[in-house]
Amino acid sequence: MLGYDISWAAFNIIEVMSASKFTFKRIGYLAASQSFHEGTDVIMLTTNQIRKDLSSPSQYDTGVALTGLSCFVTPDLARDLANDIMTLMSHTKPYIRKKAVLIMYKVFLKYPESLRPAFPRLKEKLEDPDPGVQSAAVNVICELARRNPKNYLSLAPLFFKLMTSSTNNWVLIKIIKLFGALTPLEPRLGKKLIEPLTNLIHSTSAMSLLYECVNTVIAVLISLSSGMPNHSASIQLCVQKLRILIEDSDQNLKYLGLLAMSKILKTHPKSVQSHKDLILQCLDDKDESIRLRALDLLYGMVSKKNLMEIVKKLMTHVDKAEGTTYRDELLTKIIDICSQSNYQYITNFEWYISILVELTRLEGTRHGHLIAAQMLDVAIRVKAIRKFAVSQMSALLDSAHLLASSTQRNGICEVLYAAAWICGEFSEHLQEPHHTLEAMLRPRVTTLPGHIQAVYVQNVVKLYASILQQKEQAGEAEGAQAVTQLMVDRLPQFVQSADLEVQERASCILQLVKHIQKLQAKDVPVAEEVSALFAGELNPVAPKAQKKVPVPEGLDLDAWINEPLSDSESEDERPRAVFHEEEQRRPKHRPSEADEEELARRREARKQEQANNPFYIKSSPSPQKRYQDTPGVEHIPVVQIDLSVPLKVPGLPMSDQYVKLEEERRHRQKLEKDKRRKKRKEKEKKGKRRHSSLPTESDEDIAPAQQVDIVTEEMPENALPSDEDDKDPNDPYRALDIDLDKPLADSEKLPIQKHRNTETSKSPEKDVPMVEKKSKKPKKKEKKHKEKERDKEKKKEKEKKAEDLDFWLSTTPPPAPAPAPAPVPSTGELSVNTVTTPKDECEDAKTEAQGEEDDAEGQDQDKKSPKPKKKKHRKEKEERTKGKKKSKKQPPGSEEAAGEPVQNGAPEEEQLPPESSYSLLAENSYVKMTCDIRGSLQEDSQVTVAIVLENRSSSILKGMELSVLDSLNARMARPQGSSVHDGVPVPFQLPPGVSNEAQYVFTIQSIVMAQKLKGTLSFIAKNDEGATHEKLDFRLHFSCSSYLITTPCYSDAFAKLLESGDLSMSSIKVDGIRMSFQNLLAKICFHHHFSVVERVDSCASMYSRSIQGHHVCLLVKKGENSVSVDGKCSDSTLLSNLLEEMKATLAKC
Amino acid sequence: MIKAILIFNNHGKPRLSKFYQPYVNTQQQIIRETFHLVSKRDENVCNFLEGGLLIGGSDNKLIYRHYATLYFVFCVDSSESELGILDLIQVFVETLDKCFENVCELDLIFHVDKVHNILAEMVMGGMVLETNMNEIVTQIDAQNKLEKSEAGLAGAPARAVSAVKNMNLPEIPRNINIGDISIKVPNLPSFK
């Protein structure tokens, strides 16, 4: 609390939380929300208390519990309480509703499995009558969508509606922000948004809303790559509005304006560049936040022309800046600006190097390594600059004490790394190599960080090699020996370094130099050989160039090189092995380390060993002290730093002078160009008018003084500078990346806390003590059912929505309550081949409730449902039947609770002959036609007729055409423009022995009667002998059952339907049936598209719906040898026809 | 989302801290760092600030307002509208003003729980719950009333009344209809 730890009071807090008085409870929850977190162990004790409070009659108790929970919800709490919170989402009080909605976000984060079950209700809350609840729902969905926008695209139409209707600015801002996240995924959405957004921009008076609108418009414009007619107009509008913001006296608006401007900059730099004046002005603002934002924008402002000017301005800022963060920011920005797109804007690299050198004088910057990297990069890429760079670097090395001595030498001494490397690598350009060598060998260098010293050591040798060569060429043997002597004298200081790398390199090189000394004493020329050590050129290598290297054939990187260590090695053996190894290692190491001339070193090592050995009586001083005594350090002359020394290093040229030089150079260039132009013009003068007297200087005219050497193939083709690696696997929001459009599976339910498992309620023995529970249980179940039903409805809606989204996006006018249903691909168009869209839809509409029915269908040629799953399914069902059988033995009173009636699924079947829904239409020697008629819920009064054509002959069938005589009631949907008498072509040809399916849509006006349509299939049969015209007549029989669609229904809804009383009734009875009841039901389900609502013993209620929305309810009872079917339907004719059809079906059994 | 809400005075003394994400051992450091960032700034500069390192990431912004002796700092991520949050701070302060009647720093010290309760009506779990000041005040008042009715001695009369009300007296007709009864008042001599 207030930053202090009060975890000791955690338990007491829980006690207060459980107080009965609201006053105390509130304080308890407050304390909990302040101090509890996931690590608090007593938090699990709160679950039941919170549940109690959530269901408290007082809304404030509930509210307080929700508020508290939102702060300390853990995965466990989220899982246990998710269902309780779900129910609170439809609480009567909006105060509770909005809190429950908001807390769901936290629950989702902790328990991602809850997202899918809860989402439909959350979506429902978007249209809550209370604005507070609505805003909360918008809030939650926006948060969710921000992380995984693609899952929420289907909500776009809903949000669009909200956006155009809502007046609450807070909600509007959220929605507009959400759209900003969605548009990159769906450019069409952007097109739709632009207009209302621009309207809002023009109309709103709220700055916050205006700003968000502009922001989203920018996002839209970014997502639209091209093809907007008034594209530039919108950009102009945005930029113009932003300019107003930036010019505003309110600093906040200025800041936001700049922030938004930088977003435009990325895609439309041109339109921002016109406001350069304004942005440069902001650079001088006294507010750091604003200056930082302006800096961001500068990146896009620079050109070859103004780069120097801008950087000069920034350099003055660097001098003035007081905070290190701002200065560091400036530094990185300068480097960013200069180095962007491969130094595109730099015309004079001497200037750039001097800028970099000037930057090294910044105290306490964290970005020394950045400067160093730039120096190295430039020196390597720009060959012409090397001479200059080397001279600058040697000056830097010379004044290294200034860089390294500053108290905060955390970053800037990195520059020395680059300086040493450049001087060594390009030592041939050095004017006074000897001087530089001495500078690099100064004792002070040993105070630098290890990795810099290592580079020093390495480059000292390079330098040494080049000096040696110079001297030998000049014939100065004396001089060469003097240099060698210098090396021998100074290198030992590195040998004593604490850094292993430095030590290793130094001792290696020391030996080398000593060897050279010996050779020199014998007057052997060595320079050639020494410089051969460093022959060759170094080239820049891109960071991911490794990818370009192909893995050699036969090399398996995953294979073990050695046999993996066996685990058989017992634990107690291991220490001995380690000990053994160590002993072996030591003698092995020694010869490599110890050199015959380094006795002193060896001695020291021994001393060290002794010092570390606790059993050795020490006579020498402690190792640390001795360290100071080492000769190298003793000899360090303590340099007095003269504080009055000016910060500008004498001899270093200032960058400013380059600005002048550059101007002169440009001027010269221009003059030359002008001259040339004049000459040309003089030639043409007579013929043409002068259209531009002023020579316009464009960027391209300025040629850079030096050439940048960019090796184009540095990067492997398949590696992008920043591909992959940017996804954080630990991101908690990734768990919420869940597809919300998929229909809910039955298993996806929020866990409901129960005292007993459901199995116990099924087993009849334990039923007795549950009497009091019985009264509660049905209610609960009912609720569950209702929920489920609602979910399902939602799901269906969502499916529709998903289709609608495309439709919604494709139309230009704002969505008036969709006048006509979206044209599903099947209208008249013939969808070819087995599984096509309309069919899928049908399947979807049938949903899971279809259950076992698939079994029969599954044997159909083109449908393959996964067998193993089915088996499992069946097993489950069998178990259920067993339970049921047991329940029969129970006294009738308890039957209700015990016999879990089969619900929402077709009954199981033992063995049913393979059946096909396809019925024979017509056949002759050439072709066999079978057809299946399916209704679809989406299109009322339309049915899809799938006709399978099978070629039985040995000739190719082509030019097939289907002509159907329409009746008054039923019409075939034909392609536009064709008359009623034209045939509809079949979109495929049939080679011998092949079958294929074509689908046709028929519009039916009245579905209460069965009817038949006459039709003819005409085709050309072509074989080796020739082609013949053939015809086949058929009759399409639209039975009433074919207008029905399998629709799941729940017992409570079913009961309501029956009670409603507006259904007419009729019944039939069929005798002589020997088939089992289950198979019977399956037959009805399959042939007449019914689904079982509830089944108890030999009695079952069934439900189906016609494509025009008639409800059909059946009660099927099985007697000894007979079956009676009572039906209720909203249309009596339909019912009687249906029953007639059913009678025919049953009679076959 | 709002990551944290901090209130501290001109000297960096925290008056209220509410973290909507678990910062277990860094809360004090965060408050200190935020104070250092915010207190350096002039009065007439913008109210947005980037660079709170401890509170996490470049995605976050500090949005603050300075009232007399107190700084109100909201740390938010990019999903919040900057100007919206500024308005929210204003609503928060105005609500405090309404609930405390001329709020001052001392109110925040002595009634820190009340401040938390008010805040809880506005922001829940890092998300904005309510922006309508009247709605917030209504809820706070209702809760205060409830609290009063429970309180010790001061609440005794109120409790007594409610106890009487709740007593189970089914015999007593709840609403007596006097319409039918016409009482004949005899002519009494006046007491004049």
Give the single-character DSSP code of A1025. S
Bridge partners of residue A1095, in order along the sequence:
A902, A1100
Residue A991, pLDDT above cutoff 90: no
Residues of chain B in contact with residue A2, where contact means CB-CB under 8 angstroms, are 14, 17, 27
Mean pLDDT over each residue of chain A, to the nearest integer: 72
Residue A582, pLDDT above cutoff 60: no
Residues of chain A in contact with residue B86, where contact means CB-CB under 8 angstroms, are 252
Query: What tokens appear for A499 in the block?
Result: 């850094």
Nearest by CB: A143 against B31, B127, B146: B127
- The predicted structure's pLDDT at residue B74: 92
The residue-averaged pLDDT of B42-68 equals 79
Residues of chain B in contact with residue A73, where contact means CB-CB under 8 angstroms, are 125
What does the pLDDT look like over A804-835, one tens digit per residue? 566 566 554 444 443 444 444 443 343 334 33
Rounded to 5°, angle at Cα A522 from A518 and A527: 75
* Percent of chain A residues topping a pLDDT of 90: 1
What does the pLDDT look like over A323-356, one tens digit per residue? 677 788 888 888 888 887 778 788 788 888 888 8
| CA gap A818, A1054 in Å, rounded | 30
Neighbours of A1140 (CB within 10 A): 15
C-alpha of B187 from chain center: 62
Could you tell me where the beta strands, DSSP code E, fall in B77-176? 123-124, 127-128
What does the pLDDT look like over A300-316, one tens digit per residue? 777 777 788 888 888 88
- B1–A contact, CB cutoff 8 A: yes
What does the pLDDT look like over A29-43, one tens digit per residue? 999 888 888 878 888
User: Within 13 A of A738's CA, how many CA atoms are on the CB side?
Assistant: 21
SS3 A48: helix
- The predicted structure's pLDDT at residue A995: 81
pLDDT tier for residue A597 given thresholds of 50, 70 and 90 = low
Portion 9-48 of A in contact with B at CB < 8 A: 21-23, 26-27, 30, 34, 37-39
Highest mean pLDDT among A106-115, A594-603, A716-725, A900-909: A106-115
Residue A796, pLDDT above cutoff 80: no
On the 0-12 / 13-18 / 19+ scale of CB atoms within 10 A, B112 is middle
Say if residues A437 and A463 touch (Cβ distance below 8 Å). yes
Give CA separation, A144 vs A69, A140, A285, A413, A741, in Å: 19, 6, 38, 46, 15
Nearest by CB: A70 against B46, B81, B125: B125
Burial annotation A217-241 (CB, 10 A radius, 16+ → b, else e):
bbbbbbbbeeebeeeeebbebbbeb
Q: Pairing between strand A984-985 and A1044-1045?
A: unpaired
Contact A256 B82 (CB under 8 A): yes
Q: Which residue has the higher pLDDT, A1030 or A768?
A: A1030
The residue-averaged pLDDT of A516-545 equals 78
What distance in Å separates residue A287's CA from the closest CA in chain B?
6
| CA gap A110, A676 in Å, rounded | 73
Residue A446, pLDDT above cutoff 60: yes
Q: Is the pTM of this model over 0.80?
A: no
End-to-end CA distance of chain A: 77
Contact A2 B116 (CB under 8 A): no
User: Within 13 A of A150's CA, how many CA atoms are on the CB side?
Assistant: 5
* Percent of chain A residues topping a pLDDT of 70: 66
- Residue A109 has phi, psi (to 5 degrees) of -60, -40
Nearest by CB: B147 against A22, A140, A142: A22
The amino acid occupying position A706 is: Q
- B133–A contact, CB cutoff 8 A: no
The residue-averaged pLDDT of A268-281 equals 78
What does the pLDDT look like over A1087-1105, one tens digit per residue? 888 888 888 778 888 888 8
Give the single-character DSSP code of A702. -
Would you mind telling me the total number of residues written for chain A in this entry?
1149
SS3 A475: coil
- The predicted structure's pLDDT at residue A164: 82
Residue A442, pLDDT above cutoff 60: yes
pLDDT tier for residue A724 given thresholds of 50, 70 and 90 = very low
Highest mean pLDDT among A13-27, A698-712, B51-65, B174-188: A13-27
| CA gap A349, A707 in Å, rounded | 9
The residue-averaged pLDDT of A97-123 equals 88
- Nearest to residue A1115, comparing CAs of A1075, A1084, A1073, A1148? A1084
Which string of DSSP letters, residue by residue, matches A241-286? HHHHHHHSS-HHHHHHHHHHHHHHHHH-HHHHHTTHHHHHHHHT-S
The residue-averaged pLDDT of A395-423 equals 73
What does the pLDDT look like over A737-759, one tens digit per residue? 666 666 666 566 666 655 544 44
Say if residues A423 and A388 touch (Cβ distance below 8 Å). no
The residue-averaged pLDDT of A238-246 equals 82
Contact A95 B22 (CB under 8 A): no
Q: Which residue has the higher pLDDT, A554 or A83?
A: A83
Residue B72, pLDDT above cutoff 90: yes
